[in-house]
Amino acid sequence: MEKRRSIGVTIFGWVFILLGLSILFASLFPLGLYFKFKNILSILSTVMEYFSYWKYLMLSAAPLGMIWSLIYIICGIGLLRLKFWARYIIIALMLTSIITPLNKALIFGSQTLNIIGLLLQIVFVSFILWFFMKEKVKKQFEVEGVKFRLKSKYGAIIGLIIFLTLFTPVTVLTFKVYALLKYKEPFFIAKPQVIRLQKAEDEALLEKYRRIELFGVSLLIPKDFALISFSKPPDNLSEWIAFMANPVDSKKGLVSLSSKVIYETTAEMYRVMGFKNAYDFEQAILTNNWSPIFITLRNVIRPRGKVFKIEQINSPKLKGFIRSSYNKEQNHWIYEVSFYSKDTLASKGMMIMVNEEYLNRKDALNIISSFTLLEEKERGEDKYYKEGLKSLNSNDFIDAQFKFANAYYLSPENPEYGYMLAKALFKNGRKSFYSVKRILEEVLKLEPDYKEARELLETIKLELSSASSSGSK
């Protein structure tokens, strides 16, 4: 007597076939990412071995997804044909599917966990298990004289389901052990110590520091530091970068300032991973314990084999992170700092390199504590330009450099601002020649007939050529 299939079984049969097809299309996503970032991965692989493994992980994700897809489709067809083994496979699929969101969180981070979605999945799974445990549904799949055997083709499929479910946590654990042994990556990341920045009192510090404004922020830098280099990004997505140091003795230290943190340039990446902003993305990189993605990224920004301390910044208007490491060979500390406004999450990046013979941790914290976001106001490039002219006439070349840098940053399309910045940087000597050359080339693109800019550029080229000839002898 031919068994009759209920409407519920028919619906679930087609649902699982459609789920299998959707998983098939989703499994192609890692392949798309691989081909999109193939060139970047190849370049990074030459710098750090970690990235060579990512190529294989991304390529292996597609066939694993295809296997899952095939299992779901086979299960759906088995349900439609009332095969007794299909019921066991669907039970195995449902029991292991609860772990799938947790596996996803292991790879991409806890931000991918959707609690409402997870609860709905539990309800859905519970309903399916209840449905296929019902006596009248079980009878549709019963075959007289046939019992479930683990050593069978369908038993192998159930074993494959368990293997695929455990594949992710085992892979993640293996990667963690590899990172521990190969790169000395701590197995558990210590929770960052929170530093509550105290407001720097200028009056007490102005004997050693000067207060400057740049990129919409105000901060203290050592008094004998000048603006050594100033870089305009090739596009609006990248950050402007300024380097400040002693123009005579660069061993004394270095302060760099960026118009935004580098993570802002990776918005396409972190939004795909479920992050709303760059702060949350950086926090995951610095504190996530399990994700191979964040372990890899953390080791990209960590000087290999160096002390890597993470501290968290907290002040009334700012939050962020300080990453510090010590370079024993050169006897200096490096502090890499990211600041985020608590109001707007606008970001700025800073790096401080201090030689303990000249500057120490207290100096670094003084500079960090002095960091203040300037309030939004009308474009003040003309104001900065006029103040720069006054400083230049007073032979205060360092102050003029920062004033012209602000004018150029706010209005890079004005060739006069660029030229005056280049002229002020020229006073630093050879330390700034390459930066001056880049700025003047940008100026001449805007105004090819700018006589003074062309003359200064020719002077710079002669100086660089002379320096190169002297060095080769």
pLDDT of residue 32: 56
Residue 360: inside a domain: yes
Q: Identity (one letter) of the amino acid at 321?
A: F
Helix (H, G, I), strand (E, B) or coil at 201: coil
Q: Is residue 188 part of a domain?
A: no
Average pLDDT over residues 295-317: 77
Give the distance between the most distant pair of CA atoms in the chain. 106
Tell me which of 376, 397, 413 is where a domain ends. 376
On whether both 343 and 221 belong to a single domain, the answer is yes
Q: Looking at the DSSP assignment, which residues form a beta bridge with residue 351? A: 256, 336
Is 140 within the bounds of a domain? yes
Q: Are residues 472 and 357 in the same domain?
A: no
Would you state the structure tokens that stand for residue 4, as one six-digit string?
């009759």
Is 329 among the domain residues? Answer: yes
Residues 276 and 341 placed together within one structural domain of the fold:
yes
Is residue 26 helix, strand or coil?
A: helix
Its domain, for residue 303, covers 193-376
On whether both 404 and 358 belong to a single domain, the answer is no
Q: Looking at the structure, do residues 20 and 46 belong to the same domain, yes or no?
A: yes
Give mean pLDDT, residues 166-170: 90
**Cα separations in angstroms, 82 against 136, 139, 156:** 13, 10, 19
Question: Do 401 and 416 touch, CB atoms closer than 8 A?
Answer: no
Q: Dihedral sign, CA of 456, 457, 460, 462?
A: negative
- In this prediction, residues 118-133 reach a mean pLDDT of 93
Backbone torsions φ then ψ of 290, nearest 5 degrees: -120, -35
Average pLDDT over residues 288-304: 79
Whole-number Å distance between alpha carbons of 72 and 198? 59
Enumerate residues 6+ apart whose C-beta is below 8 A from 363: 222, 354
Which range has the top average pLDDT, 12-21, 22-31, 95-104, 267-276? 12-21
Of these ranges, 138-142, 300-304, 384-388, 463-467, the one predicted with the greatest mean pLDDT is: 384-388
Dump strand ranges (E) for 328-382. 332-341, 347-355, 372-373
Are 157 and 238 in the same domain?
no
How many C-beta atoms surround the C-beta of residue 113 within 10 A? 14
Q: What percent of the chain has pLDDT over 90?
A: 45
> The domain spanning residue 289 has which CATH number?
3.40.1000.10
Q: What is the pLDDT at residue 47? A: 45
pLDDT at 43: 44
Closest Cα to residue 65, out of 96, 95, 25? 25
Residue 1 resides in a domain: no
Rounded Cα distance, 215 and 227, in Å:
13
Per DSSP (E only), the strands in 172-317 are 193-196, 209-214, 217-222, 226-231, 241-245, 253-258, 309-314
Give the model's confidence band at 473: pLDDT under 50 very low, under 70 low, under 90 confident, else very high: very low
CA 275, CA 111: separation in Å to the nearest integer?
7
Long-range contacts of 231-234, Cβ-Cβ distance < 8 Å, separation of 24 or more: 231/435, 231/438, 232/408, 232/412, 232/438, 232/439, 232/442
pLDDT digits (tens, 9 = 90+) for 27-86: 766 555 555 555 545 544 544 455 555 555 655 667 888 888 999 999 999 999 999 899
Q: What is the mean pLDDT of residues 452-464?
A: 91
Coil/strand/helix, residue 421: helix
Provide the CB-side half-sphere exposure for 329 (13 A, CA).
Answer: 3
Q: Which residues contact 285 (CB under 8 A, 6 or more apart)?
A: 263, 294, 297, 298, 301
For residue 2, being part of any structural domain is answered with no
User: In this predicted structure, what is the pLDDT of residue 464?
Assistant: 83
Instruction: Label the pairing between strands 347-355 and 253-258.
Output: antiparallel
Distance CA 121, CA 130 (A): 14
Of 342, 376, 410, at which residue does a domain stop? Answer: 376
167 and 37 part of one domain? yes
Give the pLDDT score at 178.
84
Tokens of 289: 């314990």
Both 63 and 150 in a single domain? Answer: yes
pLDDT over threshold 90, residue 389: yes
Regarding whether 388 and 372 lie in a shared domain, the answer is: no
Per-residue 3-state assignment (H helix, E strand, C coil) for 373-385 = ECCCCCCCHHHHH
pLDDT at residue 114 tops 90: no
Q: What's the CA gap between 179 and 290, in Å, rounded?
A: 11
Residue 243 has pLDDT above 80, yes or no: yes
Average pLDDT over residues 122-131: 94
Note the pTM of the prediction, 2 decimals. Answer: 0.80
Pairwise CA distance, residues 324 & 396, whole Å? 33
Other beta carbons less than 10 A from residue 28's beta carbon: 13
DSSP H/E element including 141: helix 135-141
The more confident residue out of 465 and 256 is 256
Asked whether the beta carbons of 440 and 419 are under 8 A apart, the reply is yes
Sheet with 193-196, side-by-side order of all strands: 193-196, 309-314, 318-327, 332-341, 347-355, 253-258, 241-245, 226-231
Whether the pLDDT of residue 378 is over 70: the answer is no
DSSP assignments along 258-288, one per residue? ESS-GGGGGHHHHHHTT-SSHHHHHHHHHH-
388 in Cβ contact with 420 (< 8 Å): yes
Quick one: pLDDT at residue 79? 93
- Into how many domains does the chain fold? 3
Q: Does residue 295 form part of some domain? A: yes
List pLDDT tens digits, range 327-365.
Answer: 777 778 889 999 999 988 889 999 999 887 788 888 888
Q: Point out which residues pair with 312 in neighbouring strands.
A: 194, 321
Q: Are residues 72 and 155 in the same domain?
A: yes
Please provide residue 254's backbone torsions phi and psi, each rounded to the nearest 5 degrees: -155, 140
Letter for the amino acid at 384? Y
Mean pLDDT, the chain, rounded, equals 85
CATH number at residue 465: 1.25.40.10
What is the pLDDT, as a whole number, of residue 200?
61
CB 413 within 8 A of CB 402: no
Do the Cβ atoms of 231 and 323 come closer than 8 Å?
no
The residue count for the chain? 473
171 and 80 fall within a common domain: yes
Residues 357 and 428 in one domain: no
* Residue 87 amino acid letter: R
Contact 52, 120 (CB under 8 A): no
- Closest residue by Cα to residue 290 from 191, 188, 193: 188
Domain's final residue, options 132, 156, 183: 183
